[in-house]
Amino acid sequence: MLPKIGMESTFEKAVKDHNAIYHKEGAYKGQVDYILTGKQAGWYVWLMGPCTFTDLDTRPENDAHKKDWDQKVAPTVAKYGAVEYWKYKSEWSYKSGTEEAKIEEIWFLDIKRGEYYRFKALMLKINEAFAKKGDVDMQVYQNQFSENNGRDIAIVWGMKNWAEMDDDGGSVKKYYEEINGDGSWADFIDEWEAATESIVKQVWKINI
């Protein structure tokens, strides 16, 4: 969502108040993230979940809920963006159990047609390397209704602050080659290039 110019603070408060009443916990818990970089910088993303499609069938909907959004949030919105449904890929993801992220670097990937099997194998391997490294979260999501727009997969790395991006020792290459052998990282990069069409990278501020 893109707020009207000059109404950003009003928008943030309205959405937070709405979430506190109607999306406080459980499957319908809501939060708002803020895009800091790229062509969509300045946009906000409203998220709900984690939930299942079954949960959507029993999603609370009543006049008061709709009225609150229509009267308090909608007047502050200049434009609405796309609606997407993302599924968490636990077998491709690694959670270190460290402090919750304040910002996230997100890669949106376009997977080449017919190369999903190759990409899956790569993700299983790189997940092992991140687990061996042990100090970086990598969470992976798959778009459930892909629109051929370069957003098939999202890979998310959580960070406490921008300073973590200055850490040149953060490469996972060392750990990947400890598992798969010397020179295997170059092979991984070749396979990655063969399986992916494009990458769009963004940084988001989480749960403003």
> Number of structural domains, the chain?
2
- Please tell me whether residues 141 and 193 are part of one structural domain: yes
Whole-model pTM: value is 0.94
Cβ neighbors of 73 (< 8 A, separation 6 or more) are: 11, 14, 15, 18
- Please tell me whether residues 199 and 140 are part of one structural domain: yes
- Please tell me whether residues 126 and 166 are part of one structural domain: yes
Asked if pLDDT for residue 169 goes beyond 60, the answer is no
pLDDT-derived band at 99, boundaries 50, 70, 90? low
Single residue among 18, 44, 79 that ends a domain in this structure? 79
The enclosing domain of 90 has a CATH number of 3.30.70.100
- Please tell me whether residues 19 and 108 are part of one structural domain: no
CA atoms of 134 and 140, how far apart (whole Å): 16
